[in-house]
Amino acid sequence: MAEHPNDWQGKRPPIGALRRRGIYLLPNLFTTAALFAGFYAIVQAMNLRFEIAAVAIYIAMVLDGLDGRVARLTRTQSEFGAEYDSLSDMVSFGAAPALVIYEWSLKGLGKLGWVAAFVYCAGAALRLARFNTNIDVVDKRWFQGLPSPMAAALVAGLVWIMNDLGFGGETWLAWLSWCVTMFAGVTMVTNVPFYSFKDINLKKSVPFWAVLAIVAGLTVIATKPAVVLFLLVVAYSVSGYVQWVLKGRPGRIV
């Protein structure tokens, strides 16, 4: 006689009675790669190879942007993927940048240094938790607070550009790092709106000049990637405040 599923109510069913649930491989490969990049950044920071650590965080940001798009394009979205992505983001854009910037310059500030690193790390955790709970009620065109990948790019970008320009160890640089880290951590949990770019249709045809503009942009980035990317991240990080002051609060943001 076949067993009814309710026969096991209140008890742990045997392993053979559990339905196996698979996971989609392709999008989770990108998420795993982003997680590895964040972990690699931490390892390199411990080895005092800060420029490599900063670049690894930028690579994690690119991979994080791809996993969701791949999942949507291949129709392989899943609840597992969403949860896995959040955990990966916490490592790559929460713990990793905080540890990198602390080892690079904040350590010399004593308690103030690790407090700033913790404020950033806590801000990333709160930002991700709020994003997951508000995902169905916010205006998709706008992020509520600075996205954690851009906050990570701001902190890691400071490390990258200063190493690229030959700075390191100066007292003023430690305080600049403190200010940038605190700014990134606090801005992640504000209600300041940041444009999400999610309403851009990548499947829509574009004029030829748009392709030329993309090529020109990539060429400019390639000439001095640390400087150009950091300036772009800084511009985006203040764009929300500019939008808030000049045009008020766009849309409905809970």
What's the whole-model pTM score? Answer: 0.84
Number of domains comprising the chain = 1
Q: 95-116 burial by CB neighbour count: b if 16+ within 10 A, else e?
A: bbbbbbbbbbbbeebeeebeeb
Q: Is residue 253 part of a domain?
A: no
Q: How far apart are CA 185 and CA 36, in angstroms?
A: 23
Domain coverage including residue 168: 24-193+206-247
Q: Is residue 85 part of a domain?
A: yes
Q: Using one digit for the tens of pLDDT, what is the confidence trace for 168-219? A: 778 899 999 999 999 999 999 998 989 887 766 666 776 777 778 888 888 8
Q: Is residue 221 part of a domain?
A: yes
Q: Using one digit for the tens of pLDDT, what is the confidence trace for 7-22? A: 445 555 554 444 455 6
Q: Is residue 176 part of a domain?
A: yes
CA distances from 95 to 111, 129, 185 (A): 18, 15, 12
Average pLDDT rounded to a whole number, residues 151-168: 92
Task: Note the pLDDT of residue 2.
Answer: 45
CATH number at 151 reads 1.20.120.1760
Q: Using one digit for the tens of pLDDT, what is the confidence trace for 49-85? A: 999 999 999 999 999 988 777 777 777 777 888 888 9
Q: How far apart are CA 62 and CA 152, in angstroms?
A: 12
Q: Is residue 73 part of a domain?
A: yes
- Which sign, positive or negative, has the C-alpha torsion 66, 23, 57, 197? positive
List Cβ neighbours of 225 (8 Å cut-off, separation of 6 or more).
none
Q: Is residue 6 part of a domain?
A: no
How many Å separate Cα 192 from the centre of its chain? 17
Q: Using one digit for the tens of pLDDT, what is the confidence trace for 98-126? A: 999 999 999 989 999 999 999 999 999 99
The dihedral formed by the CA atoms of 166, 51, 173 and 116, expressed in degrees to the nearest 10: 180
Q: Which residues pair with 194 in a beta bridge?
A: 143
Higher pLDDT, 167 or 237: 237
Q: Is residue 235 part of a domain?
A: yes
Residue whose pair of structure tokens reads 């938790």 in the numeric block: 129
- Strand (E) or helix (H) holding 26: helix 25-46
Q: Is residue 186 part of a domain?
A: yes
